[in-house]
Structure 1
Amino acid sequence: MNKNKKNRNKPGNKHNHSNKTYGEKRSGQTTKKNEKSQGKPTKTNKRHGNKQSVTAEVTCSSLTQEGKGIVQWKGKQLEVEHLLPGEIAEITVSTNGQHVHSKVKRIIKTSDDRTKPPCVYYYECGGCQLQHMNNQAQERFKQDTIDQLMKPFGKPEPILTMDNPYDYRNKSHITFGLNKDRQIIGGLYAQNSHQLISMDRCLIHDPKADEIWNTIKDMMKSFKIQPYNEDTGRGFLRHVLVKVGKVSGEIMVVLVVASTIFKGSNNFVKALRKAHPEITTILMNVNNRKTSMVLGDQEKVLFGKGTITDTLCGMKFEISAKSFYQINPVQTEKLYAKAIEMAQLTGRETVIDAYCGIGTIGLIASQKAGKVIGVELNKDAVRDAIRNSKRNGVKNARFHQGDSGEFMMEMAARGEKADVVIMDPPRSGSDEAFLSSVVKLKPKRIVYVSCNPVTQVRDLKYLVQNGYDVKGLQPVDMFPQTVHVECVALIDLK
């Protein structure tokens, strides 16, 4: 997916820039230039049943929130991947009934914001969406996205970016399969598909993680391990999950398999550790269900203690295979520091850490709060949070398993108060039941950490309608090379 090429076996991508053809020309297509850059089509190139394909010359006017270029064609607005504002391009437009699909064929006029993607798999993979933009353009795109979304609440601060926007993911998972020649390949699925792309390096993964799974791929043949086939239900190894402690250097390898019987597991572990002595624990996770979920319920430690530790904001956290731990620890420290700053803690406040996970932000807040109450539905995460609390010698934090909204409603019913609520919900945001419980509890301050500003806007509107004001907005680029951006909001009781 991203920067610093490393021993790539694959040839350069077919998709090039600036007056060069994007992909191979289909049989029967013409490259005849269109009359104007207003999206008027040339003649129809090919018809397959109801499907028609034409070429058109268009000008990109702006970008969607997904980073796609917006163009006009036959009175319709089209979204075209990998096109930048101000660029003139020849695109192919395929229509099938009501469905219209467009893609860049050739760029005629190139934007100064365009750069050559450093990843050779970029146009196939889809896991990154912005590698064709330079860093300044990516920063501007994300800032504009947040500025537009948050207009009803005020002007956001400048986005916090990353000095080295590559190699940042501390967690990566790779899938294995067979190519048409029946050779074992490893890689990632193309976006919105089950097409496995063979690769040897993802430029936003930790480089050590990619070295490890490549070694496992090479070992599979000699150990007679077959990759799992979802269609037939045959095979053994489904995925490899690697978690890296960026500060501690500890590494966890999780072999996700389809059966509890792993013949030769001891020898496999020895061989893997000989190749990579830096691995500190290896687990076998059994997932024998027909599901898109990576991990199953059954787990066995093959080597080490089954967890790794890492340091975040000066505190140590234990991470298990199923623990949620922020993907980009460098930017997480900036994100959490801003959230704690917005909470304006003086050492006397009662803080609720809703959706607390393994307790990261709550335990960091405990250093400046009077008391922290963490609430989380996942009982394994709560167990990890309690362990992390003891590990760091924290005496003023308590963690509870349960629904955060119900917990706060019960607090309000008992007449108990909280000064600050810190909330970090999933991408779907919070539901009205949770938000109404926050309103019922009436904390003086809410700090809302969001990985999806679109749902955050919806939730902020509810809070504003129910007695709160948005006082600050801080975007953070947690996932460089992708369209994703996080935002911290400070919300005060009126």
Structure 2
Amino acid sequence: MKLIITDINHQGEGVGRLAGKVYFVPGALPGEEVEIEVTEEKKSWARARIINLHVPSAERCQPHCPYFEQCGGCQLQQLAYSAQLAVKRELVQNTLKRIGKLDLGKVEVRSVLGMVEPWQYRNKVVWHVTKVNRRLRLGFFQRGGQQIIPIDYCLLLPLRLNQLKNKIEHLLNEINILPYDWRNHTGQLRHIILRQTVTGQVMVGLVTVPEVSLKRRLMELASKLLGEEGVTTVVWNINQQKTREILGRENQTLAGPGFIEEEILGLKFQVSLAAFLQVNPRQTEVLYQQAAGAAALSGGEKVIDAYCGVGSIALLMARQAAEVRGVEVVAEAIAAARVNATINRITNASFRVGLAEKILPEWEREGYRAQVIVVDPPRAGVELPALQAMAGMKPERIVYVACDVATLARDLARLQELGYEPKWVQPVDMFPHTAHVECCCCLKRKKWS
């Protein structure tokens, strides 16, 4: 069966239509004519693989990574980087029109802000553990499956984290530890987490099952790692869940202070193993500068930062605002936000633990009014009660930082009904060579609302 690919979906699959059915084809690019074989079929859609590439895209290129065909980490290495940016902008536009019903004649979707050097950009990685020929190996999940593919070198990671991974792999084979078996829920070591900061500090996270006898071996491993490739701290995370959740609830510091220090736009942040912070430091600054531009603070505004995490956006806004309130459901993140405020000598920011959909309505009922509200929600987007409370406070501007374009589109449609007009959407390429794109959107209150 021949198919012409017209666009790419949010998973990076090529999309084509034939006889009223939509076909999703991994690896296919817009403009290509491909011969396909169906691998999964439903009533209105099907998934297929490429049998023959009859007419390739002019933008098709040879992937840099030798693991690209197997590894599930990247989806778009076969597409020239400039074309990736164009495809992502089109993906944002199509999603805003299809889901949000936005009039793109009134909402400016700007060109995607890409990277000059779109490699070695990730400062955090979660390695999965497997066994090959009686040796422990670290790797990533295969494309479309759960099998772990051993990886010698990842092109998205800086040299230091690749070298550290190889060192850890060698040491793991000296301490007699078993990889976790996800089918039978046996074994010990679930994940290795590596994170580095622009200050040069590196954290190692060892995620295991709850087994007291492991501590001596992990302490030995931590002592060997301290100082290697910039390692300043090693943390043991104990995860007893039988799910794919990466981290458990208990952490024990095996070496160093238990955190590393990051810098973003002149501010310092303590980063724990569980803390959420963007993993592309160069593009994080680009994204946050867009958020600051959308907020357009002059010094006298009250600002709310919902889903504030460790306070990164809130503290950046606090430098140009009269007052900032942050709200976040993760108690550990709020504790870190307060510490980060102290480190940076910021006294006009306060933080509260709780759900945004509960705290924001409470503040609205109390009569609190903010001139600017910033939201940076998880993929699920902003709950309707939170959106309603935001509109009820009548801020002049809302800044929406989104990691999922579909929920952004849904929430923009709701905010329009509540009296706010999206003025522009700025996509930022936080994850080159993947289908993911972050967005910053500026909304302003309608004059009649």
Q: TM-score, normalised by structure 1?
A: 0.84
Query: How many angstroms apart in 1 are the aligned matches of 2:376 and 2:47?
Result: 36
For 2:436, the equivalent position in structure 1 comes to 484
Question: Residues 100-129 of structure 1: CA distance to partner in whole angstroms, max 9, x if unpaired?
Answer: 441012223222100111111112122211
Query: How many angstroms apart in 2 are the aligned matches of 1:411 and 1:171?
Result: 36
For 1:60, the equivalent position in structure 2 comes to 5
What is the CA distance between 1:230 and its match in structure 2?
Answer: 2.2
For 1:189, the equivalent position in structure 2 comes to 141
For 1:42, the equivalent position in structure 2 comes to none
**Aligned 8 A contact 2:226 2:234 in 1:** no
Change (3 A) 1:464 1:117: same
For 2:366, the equivalent position in structure 1 comes to 414
Letter in 1 for 2:431: F
Query: How many angstroms apart in 1 are the aligned matches of 2:288 and 2:396?
Result: 19
**Aligned 8 A contact 2:28 2:50 in 1:** yes
What is the CA distance between 1:407 and its match in structure 2?
Answer: 2.2
For 2:282, the equivalent position in structure 1 comes to 330
Query: How many angstroms apart in 1 are the aligned matches of 2:245 and 2:406?
Result: 25
- Percent of pairs with identical residues: 34
- Work out whether 1:424 is the aligned partner of 2:376: yes
Change (3 A) 1:370 1:95: closer
What is the CA distance between 1:483 and its match in structure 2?
Answer: 0.8
For 1:163, the equivalent position in structure 2 comes to 116
Say which SS state the counterpart of residue 373 (structure 1) adopts. strand
For 2:273, the equivalent position in structure 1 comes to 321
Q: CA RMSD in A?
A: 1.8
- Work out whether 1:123 is the aligned partner of 2:69: yes
For 1:255, the equivalent position in structure 2 comes to 206
What is the CA distance between 1:368 and its match in structure 2?
Answer: 0.6
- Count of residue pairs brought into register by the alignment: 436
Say which SS state the counterpart of residue 160 (structure 2) adopts. helix
Say which SS state the counterpart of residue 406 (structure 1) adopts. helix
Question: Residues 77-103 of structure 1: CA distance to partner in whole angstroms, max 9, x if unpaired?
Answer: 322111122323332234678684410
Q: TM-score, normalised by structure 2?
A: 0.92
| Structure 2 segments unaligned to the other structure (5+ residues) | none
Say which SS state the counterpart of residue 70 (structure 2) adopts. helix
Question: Residues 223-249 of structure 1: CA distance to partner in whole angstroms, max 9, x if unpaired?
Answer: 11221212233322111001110x200
Query: How many angstroms apart in 1 are the aligned matches of 2:42 and 2:306?
Result: 47
Query: How many angstroms apart in 1 are the aligned matches of 2:80 and 2:172?
Result: 39
Letter in 1 for 2:206: L
Query: How many angstroms apart in 2 are the aligned matches of 1:286 and 1:459?
Result: 37
Letter in 2 for 1:169: R
Query: How many angstroms apart in 2 are the aligned matches of 1:172 and 1:67?
Result: 21
What is the CA distance between 1:356 and its match in structure 2?
Answer: 0.6
Say which SS state the counterpart of residue 164 (structure 1) adopts. coil
- Work out whether 1:135 is the aligned partner of 2:81: yes
- Work out whether 1:349 is the aligned partner of 2:301: yes
Letter in 1 for 2:26: E
Say which SS state the counterpart of residue 83 (structure 1) adopts. coil
What is the CA distance between 1:72 and its match in structure 2?
Answer: 4.5
| 1:113 aligned residue (42, 45, 59) | 59
Question: Residues 277-313 of structure 1: CA distance to partner in whole angstroms, max 9, x if unpaired?
Answer: 5100011111122121111112111110000001001
What is the CA distance between 1:401 and its match in structure 2?
Answer: 1.2
For 1:91, the equivalent position in structure 2 comes to 36
What is the CA distance between 1:74 and its match in structure 2?
Answer: 5.9
- Greater shift after overlay, 311-320 or 398-407? 398-407
- Greater shift after overlay, 76-85 or 471-480? 76-85
**Aligned 8 A contact 1:227 1:235 in 2:** yes
- Greater shift after overlay, 231-240 or 90-99? 90-99
Question: Residues 157-206 of structure 1: CA distance to partner in whole angstroms, max 9, x if unpaired?
Answer: 22111111111111101011123x33322101124432111111222123
Structure with higher RCO (Cα < 8 A, 6+ apart): 2
